[in-house]
Amino acid sequence: MILAHETCYTAYLDAIHFKRVLNFGEGQLLPALGFEPLLGRNFTNDEAESGRNLVAILSDSFWRRQFAANPSIIESLIYLDGIKFQVIGVLPPRFLLMPRVDVLVPFVLNESQFRYARSAQNYDVYAELVQGVSFKQALAETQTVAARLRQQYPDADKDQDYALVSLRTELVGQIRPALLLLMAAVGVVLIIACANISIMLLARAAGRQRELAIRAALGASRRRIFQQLLSESLLLSFLGAALGLIIGMAVLRTLISIAPVNLPEVSQIGLSPPVLAFTIAIAVVAAVLFGCGPALQATSGRFWSALSTRGLTGSGQTTRIRAVLVVTESALALILTVAAALLLKSFLRLTAKNPGYSTERVLTFGVSLDPDHRQLNAATVLLQQIHEKLSAIPGVQATGASSNLPMERGGDLLFTIAGRPTPTDRATAPEALWRFVTPGYFQALGLHLLQGRWFSDIDGMESEPVVIVNRALTSKYFPGDNAMGQHLYIGGPFASTTHDIGEREIVGIIGDSLTVSLYESDPPTMYIPLSQLPPTIATKIGGVNMVVSAVEVETLRRPVSSALHDADSELAISHMRTVKQLIEDYIAPERFSFILLAVFGGLGVLLAEVGIYGVVTYTVEERRGEIGVRMACGARRSDIVLVVVGSGMKLVLLGLAIGFAFATLLIGRLVRGFIYGVSATDPVILTAVGLMFIFVALVAHLVPTLRAVRVDPAEVLRSE
């Protein structure tokens, strides 16, 4: 189980019906989750004590990426943020708990860290429920613990509550809707494909009426004929399943390469025995369900009547079954296509939106600060050296550093406004995101200044404390007033001493942008100069995020690395990428869902049109004699085409009407969480999909019909 609050509450958790409360420091977490290191060993209790035996366990991806999967890394020494650690193990590839974590180290809070951690509230607790205790019972007792903590720590926990979340929900909760949507799409495609098979089997069985009649005349029972037809259906189904597995193996690698990184066990996706068993089961079920109908239809009539006729005229029941199948697959294909079109429009709108800052010419990367540079003065000097080295690179236009990169939310802080009544509690106090930045950050990222000035080198510890805010903050907290020159007290009575940043003057206002999410403009945000951070916060900074703007960022990677090495040979650099790549990673789940759903939508339309084409072809063949008689009696080819195509298009239009009705009712619920800025009943999408489907269906009707009316009427009558 995952309990989303701080590790320092462990003593209280012991009173809840938990079998054990787990953390990395005691070495219990990995075994409890069923994981053992791939190489080396787990943490021990002694290694959990602060300052002793600094050890680390590497993730499998980090081990392979940085150390070429060298098994001799065990017992070797590595530096993390300038601190020496001994590698004692490597995690298995399927460690899902933290898929983006590269290194695990023991963690335990000492007294000073405990005080800071109470206000940080950014740790998770993992616990195992006692056998027989329900989730509801544990949740109720967790809420009781929360109430007790609010009484004991009124300053830090006054407005805090805690949630109990299952580990499965934590791992797959965010992608569960997307997977369910894709499973629904797969199911729709399967139904359409099975409907096509039924149509073809009905046509095949109708064409074999004379053969079946002869078999019956020679003594074959209806049961034996039914078994023969069903066995043929099973054989076709197994052959189709085998072909599908071969194609699936061919495209699986491509799907894995475009899958988002937050998809659990994406590297482990493959054709395992359960997948093979499921495929075989689906093949059997599909063969039985959609093969029994045609087999029963073929054996339900009077065989002797087939010996006296050509056997090309289908019964009314057969015609009705074909009509139902055409209507059904038309409706299902339309629903699938509408969903894919909505995702396409949403994706295009998302990628085309202007985020309010530069994306093409900005390079970002992380810089870890070792213990010698975590004091404010040392960090400021180091970052100034980095700025000078980077600015000397030809083509570099601006450089800066920040606590957060685009698409990272960061933390919130409460504040009060000078000259206004102090709020009575945290719930009514103004709140905003906060970031610390260095001079040049705004210019490097290309943010737009509406009023005031940017930060500069004069904004240091000895100068007047300042802050820059965004327009969202001024619109919410200074409606109708000029926010320039106003004073904010950040922290104050609503924050611990570690987050009491003090009173600051607003010296600049920037325009709204999308630095937190592409789906909506940033909430109220405050920017504070790094050089003016309180020491209690500055000492907690383990690293910064650099941004560098240049004419050609792709050619900067090697010069930037060299410049950083010149500034400090011990600097650790990570995740060097452009802002455009940051955004692409952010929309990767939407892109993955769209690609898969678009593929399934295209398959659905293709299969539906193949089915319609097959029905029309067989219907025209059934009516071949009728067409010949009509033409012999003087009917024009155009009239015959209108009759045949008109009767078939009525079924398609009926299917489209049903599909539109279900689309307007269901699509909104199915894709609501996957579309941005697009209505689930978008008239443009519905109209375009409907016209496209009508056009394709019309082509599927015209091709076999035009071929049929080209025959010589006399030849048709002689064959009759």
Q: How many of the other CB atoms lie within 10 Å of CB of 61? A: 16
Confirm whether 628 is domain-assigned: yes
Q: Is 582 part of a structural domain of the chain?
A: no
- Could you tell me the two tokens for 104? 């695990």
SS3 category, 6? coil
Separation between Cα atoms, residue 381 and residue 567, nearest integer Å: 11
Domain boundary among 534, 569, 604: 569
Given pLDDT bands bounded at 50, 70 and 90, which one contains residue 240?
confident
For residue 720, name the pLDDT band (cuts at 50, 70, 90). low
Separation between Cα atoms, residue 8 and residue 154, nearest integer Å: 16
- Give the pair of three-digit tokens for residue 53: 């035996």
CB-based contact 522:406 (threshold 8 Å): no
390 within some domain: yes
Domain shared by 557 and 644, yes or no: no
Phi, psi of 103 (to 5 degrees): -140, 135
The residue written with tokens 């009525």 in the block is 650
Are 385 and 511 contained in the same domain?
yes
350-359, 548-557, 603-612, 682-691: range with lowest mean pLDDT: 603-612
pLDDT band for 28, please (50, 70, 90 cuts).
low
Mean predicted confidence (pLDDT) in 28-39: 73
Task: State yes or no: pLDDT of 242 exceeds 70.
Answer: yes
Asked if 375 and 328 sit in the same domain, the reply is no
- Residues near 302 by beta carbon (within 8 Å), at least 6 away in sequence: none
Q: Give SS3 for 330.
A: helix
pLDDT tens for each residue of 407-458 = 888 888 888 898 888 887 777 888 999 999 999 999 999 999 999 999 998 9
Which domain covers residue 280, as residue numbers?
A: 176-351+588-719
Tokens of 211: 């053969």
pLDDT digits (tens, 9 = 90+) for 246-266: 887 777 777 777 776 656 566
Task: Report DSSP letters for 179-217, one per residue.
Answer: HHHHHHHHHHHHHHHHHHHHHHHHHHHHHTHHHHHHHHH
Residue 452 bridge partners (DSSP): 508
DSSP states of 645-699: HHHHHHHHHHHHHHHHHHIIIIIHHHHGGG-SS--TT-HHHHHHHHHHHHHHHHH
**Hey, which bits of 91-240 come out as E strands?**
103-104, 125-129, 164-165
- CA–CA–CA angle 41, 44, 47 (5° rounding): 115
Domain annotation covers residue 489: yes
Q: Cα angle at 684 between 678 and 688, to 5 degrees?
A: 125
- Collapse the DSSP code of 468 into the 3-class scheme (helix H, G, I; strand E, B; otherwise coil) and give the result: strand
Three-class DSSP category at 523: coil
Tell whether pTM > 0.75: no
CA nearest neighbour of 518 among 349, 680, 669: 349
Separation between Cα atoms, residue 432 and residue 511, nearest integer Å: 15
Q: How confident is the model at residue 475 (pLDDT cuts 50, 70, 90)?
A: very high
Residues 225 and 290 in one domain: yes
User: Predicted confidence band at 486 (pLDDT cuts at 50, 70, 90)?
Assistant: very high
Q: CA 385: distance to chain centroid?
A: 40
In a domain, 359, yes or no: no
Least confident of 360-364, 509-513, 580-584, 664-668: 664-668
217, 86: one domain: no
Tracing tokens 């087999």 back to the chain, one arrives at 295
Q: Are residues 451 and 536 in the same domain?
A: yes
Do 618 and 531 reside in the same domain of the chain?
A: no
**CA nearest neighbour of 57 among 98, 28, 85, 18:** 85
- At which of 171, 200, 227 does a domain end? 171
Shared-domain flag, residues 392 and 317: no
For residues 324 and 189, state if they share a domain: yes
Residue 471 has pLDDT above 50, yes or no: yes
AA identity, residue 618: Y
396 phi, psi to nearest 5 deg: -75, 130
66 and 15 in contact (C-beta within 8 Å)? no
Question: What angle, rounded to 10 degrees, do the helices at 316-352 and 683-708 form?
Answer: 140
Neighbours of 17 (CB within 10 A): 14
Is residue 194 in some structural domain? yes
Give the separation between CA 180 and CA 309, rounded to whole angstroms. Answer: 51
Pairing of strands 164-165, 2-3: antiparallel
Specify the number of domains making up the chain. Answer: 3
pLDDT of residue 437: 92
Asked whether residue 167 falls in the same domain as residue 37, the answer is yes
Higher per-residue pLDDT: 488 or 5: 488
Q: Are both 439 and 347 inside the same structural domain? A: no
d(CA 30, CA 500): 37
- Phi/psi of residue 527, nearest 5 degrees: -115, 130
Same domain, 400 and 328: no
Which of 569, 599, 631 is the last residue in one of the domains?
569
Residue 454, domain member (yes or no): yes
Q: What pLDDT, on a 0 to 100 scale, did the predictor assign at position 342?
A: 84
361 falls within a domain: no
197-236 pLDDT, tens digit per residue, is 777 776 666 666 667 677 777 777 777 877 777 787 778 7
Q: What phi and psi, each to the nearest 5 degrees, are found at residue 347?
A: -65, -45
The answer to whether 366 touches 573, Cβ cutoff 8 Å, is yes
- The tokens describing 642, both together, are 């209108």
Arithmetic mean of pLDDT, 350-373: 82
- Six-digit token pair at 101? 């974590």
Per-residue DSSP letter, 515: S
First to last CA, the chain: 75
pLDDT of 9 reads 33
